[in-house]
């Protein structure tokens, strides 16, 4: 059979070569280049002056020939072959192979024949040069002047049309072209074109992988689920913050599944042409039905699935809405799409259309959250496998220093650490490199050369010591692990803390203490200097936003009541407020009350510990960066460690033992700034 097939393929006409525009452009460009670089006489002479020709070239006997061109008012000079070495520097360090080598402009007052004859007669017979006169017409130049502009215009038009054909046509549905504008641009992955990403490359996300693998198993063995009368789910929506691995998870599905996998971005549906989006949706599902059972993955579906407007106005988009309507029809319309499962990814599920989210279209929502401690350790192992590491590097230590980091952030940390190690000429990547990478990614590049007076440096140290002291004394604040006065990014200093990942419930008391920690820097400056600096801008901005969220989102105000004005759908009119002017005034009063109470609490702590704040500032000016153990020597055990000790005592029923989570001086912890960290002194 194999030989028969080969014989059959060998019969028939030989394949004819396809026309390619390069066959035209290459000779044309070569011809243009020849005319420009070599000209009619085969050279590109350098412009010079008559006195240089007379006093240098002719006087030294280097000239072989001078040609006077009568109709161009110029004279061309050819240098003898054995004298070319003298002029190499003028030709870029090389000896030109073709003449003429120089030319000079001849004015109307210049008697060329007489001047040249006089110069030649001054030379001995063996060094004399020949003089020629000619009239020259460059026919190629005239032709080029007439044809160059039309050729350029035609070439630009051809390439523009060709690129347009590629962009608006092609994809999995056809060969491209201007008339294939409505064809789907989805990439097809099947047994012949399979992605190399598998679930081994996806660290963490165990729950999400279980749900996704269940969908893949539906397609591999549908009878197992339909024998009892059940229906295969039609779609699953991957939801989560940016960088958590939604697209990577979909790629892993393509690598693990033994079914065809169509991949397309939501923005690929909508073009400038009316009706293209709906046509591409129809073509995509047509191809999917032909390949069924299969999976269709739509990345960033919010580009086309945004909630439709209720009124037609400047905010409406008819083309996008028509595309969405067609997508809704194809997913669960009058016809059936047996064996076609839709996967989609977005980080803005709140703005998707309700009709898209209902059961029968996207039956499941798979939430891909930020990785926890164990998951971050697994992500680190995946990315660290490609690096040359210090054998003593502790992966769990790195995972503890990166709370709130996504998978993409961790990948960036590993890459940045490798770059830092290479910059310092290290053979392996060490822990200090990872710490420096975390600092740089979160806070920005160090600015050690930033000019600051001693008074400004001390004010910054007082500011950061104020933050650290208040946060150290309040048990609901996140543990302080590092304080620095090294400028980074837009900040002159920073107080770093790591949130408690075991905490899932946040109360109004917790947020009030965090507000006090944010305001501690401004208050410390006020107490010590009697003035209010502008460096607390970011602290005031963040604390004000948090206070307004407490009142208008979380219902933490008794005066306003259990009311939330948070718009999770994103469809509310931004030009009008959902409350009256009277309520707005009440909200402002409550926000001011919350901030003033936190301000008063923070001021009491700072006034009671002002001598310790100054001692901490002195230590900061000396070391530039201090850690939790340094703060403990000044302020004593933190409120967070005391609370942890009490909890451990309650569990065991033993006597209280001092428990600290801080490491030894030999192993300082550097933690990234988070939402609740204080990064101040803009």
Give the active site residues: 464
Number of H helices, E strands in the chain: 23, 14
User: 500-507: long-range contacts at Cβ-Cβ below 8 A with a sequence spacing of 24 or more?
Assistant: 500/640, 501/372, 501/373, 501/403
Q: Taking the alpha carbons of 378, 381, 384, 385 in that order, is the dihedral positive or negative?
A: negative
At a CB cut-off of 8 Å and minimum separation 6, what does 421 contact? 428, 429, 430, 433
Phi, psi for 330 (deg, rounded to 5): -70, -35
CA dist 437 and 670 (Å) reads 11
CA dist 681 and 538 (Å) reads 8
Q: Is the CB of residue 389 less than 8 Å from the CB of residue 429?
A: yes
**Alpha carbon distances (Å) from 414 to 368, 391, 437, 441:** 22, 16, 8, 11
CA dist 47 and 387 (Å) reads 57
Cβ atoms < 10 Å from Cβ of 125 = 5
**Alpha carbon distances (Å) from 503 to 2, 500, 522:** 67, 6, 28
CA-nearest of 347, 410, 374 to 501 is 374
Provide the edge-to-edge strand list for the sheet that holds 261-265: 187-189, 261-265, 294-299, 340-346, 235-239, 364-367
DSSP secondary structure letters along 138-167 = -HHHHHHHHHHHHHHHHHHHHHHHHHHHHH
Q: Strand 494-497 and strand 480-484: pairing?
A: antiparallel
Q: Taking each helix axis from N to C terminus, what angle separates 628-635 and 454-473, rounded to the nearest 10 degrees?
A: 80
Q: Strand 235-239 and strand 364-367: pairing?
A: parallel
DSSP secondary structure letters along 485-529 = -S-BTTBS-EEEE---TT-----HHHHHHHHHHHHHHHHHHHHHH
Helix (H, G, I), strand (E, B) or coil at 446: strand
Give the pair of three-digit tokens for residue 655. Answer: 């006597």
Q: Is the CB of residue 277 less than 8 Å from the CB of residue 325?
A: no
Give the pair of three-digit tokens for residue 546. Answer: 């948090």
Cβ atoms < 10 Å from Cβ of 352 = 23
Phi, psi for 102 (deg, rounded to 5): -135, 160
**Alpha carbon distances (Å) from 211 to 196, 202, 287:** 21, 14, 25
CA dist 149 and 131 (Å) reads 38
HEC string of 368-408? CCCCCHHHHHHHHHHHHCCCCECCCCCHHHHHHCCCCCCHH
Overall size of the chain counted in residues: 682
For the chain, how big is the Rg over CA atoms in Å?
A: 38
């Amino acid at each position: 059979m194999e030989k028969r097939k080969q014989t059959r393929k060998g019969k028939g006409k030989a394949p004819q070569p396809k026309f390619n525009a390069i066959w035209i452009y290459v000779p044309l460009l070569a011809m243009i280049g020849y005319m420009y670089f070599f000209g009619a006489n085969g050279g590109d002479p350098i412009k010079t002056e008559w006195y240089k020709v007379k006093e240098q070239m002719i006087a030294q006997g280097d000239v072989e020939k001078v040609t006077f061109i009568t109709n161009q008012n110029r004279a061309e000079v050819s240098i003898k072959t054995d004298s070319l070495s003298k002029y190499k520097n003028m030709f870029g360090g090389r000896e030109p192979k073709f003449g003429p080598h120089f030319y000079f402009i001849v004015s109307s007052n210049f008697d060329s024949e007489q001047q040249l004859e006089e110069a030649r007669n001054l030379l001995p017979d063996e060094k004399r040069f020949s003089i020629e006169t000619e009239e020259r017409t460059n026919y190629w130049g005239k032709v080029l002047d007439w044809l160059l502009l039309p050729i350029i215009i035609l070439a630009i038009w051809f390439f523009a049309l060709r690129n347009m054909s590629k962009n608006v046509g092609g994809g999995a549905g056809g060969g491209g072209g201007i008339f294939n504008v409505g064809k789907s641009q989805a990439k097809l992955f099947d047994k012949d074109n399979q992605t190399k990403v598998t679930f081994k490359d996806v660290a963490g996300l165990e729950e999400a992988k279980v749900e996704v693998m269940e969908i893949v198993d539906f397609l591999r063995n549908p009878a197992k689920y339909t024998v009892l009368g059940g229906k295969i789910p039609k779609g699953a929506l991957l939801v989560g913050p940016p960088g958590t691995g939604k697209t990577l998870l979909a790629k892993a599905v393509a690598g693990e599944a033994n079914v065809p996998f169509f991949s397309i971005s939501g923005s690929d549906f909508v073009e400038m042409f009316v009706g293209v989006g709906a046509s591409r949706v129809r073509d995509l599902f047509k191809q999917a039905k032909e390949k069924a059972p299969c999976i269709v993955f739509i990345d960033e579906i919010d580009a086309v699935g945004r909630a439709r407007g209720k009124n037609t106005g400047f905010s409406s988009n008819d083309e996008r809405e028509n595309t969405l309507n067609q997508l809704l029809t194809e997913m669960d319309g009058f016809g059936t799409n047996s064996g076609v499962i839709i996967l989609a990814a977005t980080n803005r599920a709140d703005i998707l259309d309700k009709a898209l989210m209902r059961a029968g279209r996207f039956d499941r929502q798979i939430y891909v959250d930020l990785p926890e401690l164990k998951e971050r350790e697994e992500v680190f192992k995946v990315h660290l496998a490609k690096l040359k590491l210090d054998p003593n590097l502790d992966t769990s230590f790195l995972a503890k220093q990166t709370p709130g980091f996504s998978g993409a952030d961790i990948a960036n940390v590993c890459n940045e650490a490798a770059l830092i190690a290479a910059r310092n000429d290290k053979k392996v990547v060490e822990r200090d490199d990872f710490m420096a990478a975390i600092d740089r990614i979160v806070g920005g590049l160090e600015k050690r050369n930033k000019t600051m007076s001693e008074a400004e440096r001390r004010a910054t140290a007082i500011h950061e010591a104020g933050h650290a002291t208040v946060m150290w004394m309040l048990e609901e604040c996140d543990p302080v692990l590092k304080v620095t006065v090294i400028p980074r990014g837009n900040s002159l200093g920073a107080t770093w803390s790591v949130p408690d990942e075991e905490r899932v419930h946040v109360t109004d008391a917790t947020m009030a203490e965090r507000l006090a920690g944010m305001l501690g820097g401004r208050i410390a400056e006020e107490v010590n200097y009697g003035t209010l600096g502008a460096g607390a801008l970011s602290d005031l901005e963040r604390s004000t936003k948090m206070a307004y969220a407490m009142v208008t989102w979380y219902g933490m105000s008794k005066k306003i009541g259990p009311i939330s004005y948070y718009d999770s759908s994103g469809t509310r009119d931004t030009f009008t407020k959902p409350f009256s002017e009277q309520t707005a005034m009440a909200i402002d009063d409550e926000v001011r009350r919350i901030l003033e109470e936190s301000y008063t609490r923070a001021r009491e702590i700072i006034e009671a510990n002002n001598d310790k704040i100054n001692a901490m500032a002195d230590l900061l000016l000396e070391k530039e960066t201090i850690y939790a153990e340094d703060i403990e020597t000044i302020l004593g055990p933190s409120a967070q460690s005391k609370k942890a000790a009490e909890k451990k005592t309650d569990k065991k029923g033993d006597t209280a033992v001092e428990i600290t989570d801080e490491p030894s001086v030999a192993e300082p912890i550097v933690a990234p700034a988070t939402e609740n960290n204080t990064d101040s002194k803009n």
